[in-house]
Structure 1
């Protein structure tokens, strides 16, 4: 079914030259120029749109590492349950001298048709910034077409992978999640599976009851710290004109990191009807068209505790919940759904102010819990409103990002996480913002 959908999309992707949007033609030229520059050829003026600015001093080492030239400061090891563990070589030295290994496990989760490589830049910056505190696990259990299997199945796989890593790294005591795009929904499902309520946490954590009395609960037997998402469709894709989100896989299958075919009106009109043909069960979940065994759509169930899956309690157990969202130029996931807001709650453009330290951070809303009961018409059911009410029963920090003045704005969805340093380097300040406010 997926193959058929891909073939159909392939036919739609080959119209005559006269019908190509001018922007797409320019983007193709830009990509070719960038690739030529990477091979040592002449980059041309289009390559300048993606070439990172020159850096000097200590930052040069980080850039060198981000381009694949890993320094001796970073250690990488395949995890037993899949994915890769990344930590600082300095941590090994401290262990050899009788010190302790980092106790904070940071799990990084990729989005649709992604892989562990998507978080390469951020993971290595993390361990260099906090060498004695964190070990980063880049998840690999939901890669490529595995991301078509549905949020629930992906969440189960992620939960099993995390349990395997925790077992392998028995010294870790804290856990955080950092997820991009669809990975935010997968992580939310996984923590619902991994959540351990109050009456089980003392024995599971191996601590005294007094040590964990302040905790709401544990995740995989560890103390939950940060739950952070980047451009994640928390409210799904229905009603947000985000049919383009389902075409994200074309970034990898055709022109990587470009919003290919994301503006075709007929795709947006028919997306909710044909999503399952493109990305399988994941499409049904995103458009709330799933009804397995007569149950309500999965995303509606994921805003509350549901049976043995404690979604809301799991979110509440974290010390922080943060939603990074692109305020504009994100052709995959809209501002409302990624920041968990109603349309009228979005900051006005006059309130968006660039930060000198983080030039692409334009608005920060500290922890807000929305318990207001908005009047709802009895004859008009709004599932998006239900999701907002459910998710905002716990406080969220919102960090709004804008690449409006960046030459990389057309690939904002990937730039916000620095998926590829060559194409998305302008998002480095967003990653720095995350690390500067990270609770360790």
Structure 2
């Protein structure tokens, strides 16, 4: 019988390419070199990240199932940047639905870097109606979903679907749930949505990456869709890490690069669980 493989899938974000995660992949290979682990950053969503999160997730799901046919995949992990983390949540739900996990593959790591878990509606003060109209006309399905504008009442948006019991249960099968989020300077994904938080971290330029293990309590009278997503996702045992970026404005993409994100990737290596590790 062939050796059981731990397949680690690295997923890029919107308008991205698989090569963006080459440095992360390189470091993972160096630190977890084994004939029992395979690291792959598929290119199947390159050029197609604007056609909706579910379509992108379906392409990834089909790709994983083909890998399952090619090799004896017994363990599965995801390391994701930005939108890649949302794709993975949808894929994980599909795998759970079809009893691929945890029956045929054991879920190991779900690790995200600057993924908008609570959506990316960072300019809601402009007015949801106006913002929603502009997004739908100009940006297309994926951004409409990311800004929580894909349903007129906000109650049936994709992010609500990805935070229902089925999807929370599917994420809960993973041994290791880790999120990294930039404390500042990320103009695409702010700290709260990337870290699944309600309150910002204080800026401290003396550190690089810090464990955010604060206890938060909902105090606001009006509950937003983001609060509902937060409540659902916090049924899970997340490990949260606050990242203090090195450059202004470029923090979102810097997080996975050799020159400006090496401190993040080095930390990620300490959080990655491999069944043959140690």
Q: TM-score, normalised by structure 2?
A: 0.87
Whole-angstrom distance in 1 between the partners of 2:171 and 2:224: 23
CA-CA distance at 1:161 after TM superposition: 1.2
Structure 1 equivalent of residue 151 of structure 2: 291
CA-CA distance at 1:315 after TM superposition: 0.7
Whole-angstrom distance in 1 between the partners of 2:18 and 2:182: 22
> CA deviation digits over 1:277-317, x for unaligned, max 9?
3331112211222139x971110121113xxxx31111100
Structure 2 equivalent of residue 222 of structure 1: 105
What's the RMSD between the two structures over aligned residues? 2.9
- Kept after mapping to 2: 8 A contact 1:369/1:393: no
Structure 1 equivalent of residue 79 of structure 2: 178
1:236 aligns to 2:119 (yes or no)? yes
Q: How does 1:3-42 map to 2 (within 5 A)?
A: none
Richer in helix (by share):
1
Whole-angstrom distance in 2 between the partners of 1:322 and 1:231: 11
Q: How does 1:40-439 map to 2 (within 5 A)?
A: 103-132=5-34, 133-144=36-47, 146-170=48-72, 172-195=73-96, 218=102, 221-238=104-121, 240-241=122-123, 271-291=131-151, 296-305=156-165, 310-343=166-199, 346-349=200-203, 353-354=206-207, 360-361=208-209, 363-365=210-212, 374=218, 377=221, 380-403=222-245, 406=246, 408-418=247-257, 421=258, 425-439=259-273
- Kept after mapping to 1: 8 A contact 2:183/2:203: no
CA-CA distance at 1:409 after TM superposition: 3.5
3-state SS of paired residue (2:139): helix
**1 or 2 for the larger relative contact order (CA 8 Å, sep ≥6)?**
2
Q: TM-score, normalised by structure 1?
A: 0.57
3-state SS of paired residue (2:140): helix
CA-CA distance at 1:369 after TM superposition: 8.7
Whole-angstrom distance in 2 between the partners of 1:109 and 1:275: 24
Structure (1 or 2) with the larger CA radius of gyration:
1
Structure 2 equivalent of residue 75 of structure 1: none
> CA deviation digits over 1:335-390, x for unaligned, max 9?
111111002xx33336x751xxxxx21x2135x897x6x4664xx44101000001
- Kept after mapping to 2: 8 A contact 1:154/1:186: yes
Q: Which runs of 5+ in 2 are unaligned?
A: none
3-state SS of paired residue (1:126): helix
- Change in 2 beyond 3 A, CA 1:433/1:148: same
CA-CA distance at 1:326 after TM superposition: 0.4
